[in-house]
Amino acid sequence: MNIPESKVANLQAFGYTEPEARFLYIAATYSGYFTMWQFLDFVEGASGKRSARFTEKLFALGHASAQRYLRRSLVYHLDSRHIYRAIGKERLRHRREHELDHIKTRLLVLDFILAHPEYDYFEGSQDKCRYLIEELKLDAGLFAAQGSRRDLLTFLDGFPLCLASPSPGLPPVVTFTYVDPGDKNLDAYVAHLRVHRPLFRRLPRFQFLYISTAAGRLEEAGLIFGLLVEGKGAGDLLRYFDLQTKWDSKEYGHLTEVDALFLYQARRRYAGDFFVSLHRLWKRNQLPEGLHGTETTAGEREQDSRFRTVTVPGHDTVFGNTTKRWGDAWQIRGRARGASLRGSPEGKPNSLREGRMHERQGDVCTRPEH
């Protein structure tokens, strides 16, 4: 991970230490939200004076607010324009208020990035588009310019895109990610793969990481990726649909012992909601294109794609079973005005009081100019 030293210096000018400034750069760039445990892990410190001093600076400068979900758990939100201006990212939408699922996702993103600082990350949507177009020679028509069609790629989901090695000893490849915040089903994941499938199919090699807590649907996510992106596994899935239909119709005489064993194993493998829905479509002869039993060989695809699952600790101790949305939990807010760089004509930091700025700017993926 490359952090510009000039941006670190800008944050230090507010009064933050170098480790605090580096953490703030990462948190602001990739998440907008963080917990104090994430900060302490990054600086390799213990809760106490170090965290108290950091918190005092955040609130006194008006750089962050905090929201409590459980009794002793706070989620910090970097919502000050001054922080993002200092790192040259005023257009980032991380300053906005967000709903709970978004906050959970951003915290998992930060977990992943802090756990893998060795990867080379692309910071914004424009950086991602520029690399794919200029370095990997992809068609610029795949990507959305401001105000263009919504079915084109924008990367506004903020999922990390980086260069990472698939395994030790191998060169880095472009690596896409999907972060699952613990949704009740994988509908959003399926939609994500379908939107990005035209991009994936144009790459000679890439890696895809499914990031979730240990409670995530890791096996199901891998099966879906194989079906929708790699064109693998359709034969086994259709065999399962056929055998399960015969079983449901009590046509036991049409099943061999091998079929019965396969069916037993397949029921556990294809137990997710996505496969239940596909089974219904199969019965109506309405399976989506590409799932009709024709396997795509590696030679036909001329592509090396790798799917990996990555687990992160998650934040159950922060949120518990809460379903609260933003705005209805107890909050701490710092003063947003006057929190400028030391020596700036905007003035010195003010004391803690309630107040927040609500600018609305976005980070739009535009096609690089040649």
Asked if the structure places residue 359 within a domain, the reply is no
Asked if the structure places residue 313 within a domain, the reply is no
Asked if the structure places residue 241 within a domain, the reply is yes
Asked if the structure places residue 42 within a domain, the reply is no
Q: How is residue 15 annotated by DSSP?
A: T
Q: In the chain, how many domains are there?
A: 1
Which residue segment(s) compose the domain that 244 sits in?
233-295
pLDDT at 334: 61
> Which residue type occupies 104?
K
Asked if the structure places residue 144 within a domain, the reply is no
What is the C-alpha separation between 134 and 109, in angstroms, rounded? 26
Asked if the structure places residue 23 within a domain, the reply is no
Asked if the structure places residue 10 within a domain, the reply is no
Q: What pTM was estimated for this model as a whole?
A: 0.80
pLDDT at 167: 86
* String of DSSP letters for 307-351: EEEEE----HHHHTT--PPTTSS-EEE---TT---TT-TT-----
Bridge partner residues of 177 (DSSP): 209
Asked if the structure places residue 291 within a domain, the reply is yes
pLDDT by 10s per residue, the chain, length 370: 889 999 999 999 999 999 999 999 999 999 999 999 999 999 998 878 899 999 999 999 999 999 888 766 789 999 999 999 999 998 888 888 888 889 999 999 999 999 999 999 999 888 999 999 999 999 888 887 654 555 678 888 889 999 999 888 889 999 999 999 887 788 899 999 998 999 999 999 999 999 998 877 888 999 999 998 988 888 888 888 889 888 988 888 888 999 899 999 988 888 878 888 888 878 877 676 656 555 554 444 567 899 999 999 888 878 876 665 544 455 666 655 444 545 443 444 433 333 333 333 334 344 444 3
pLDDT at 215: 77
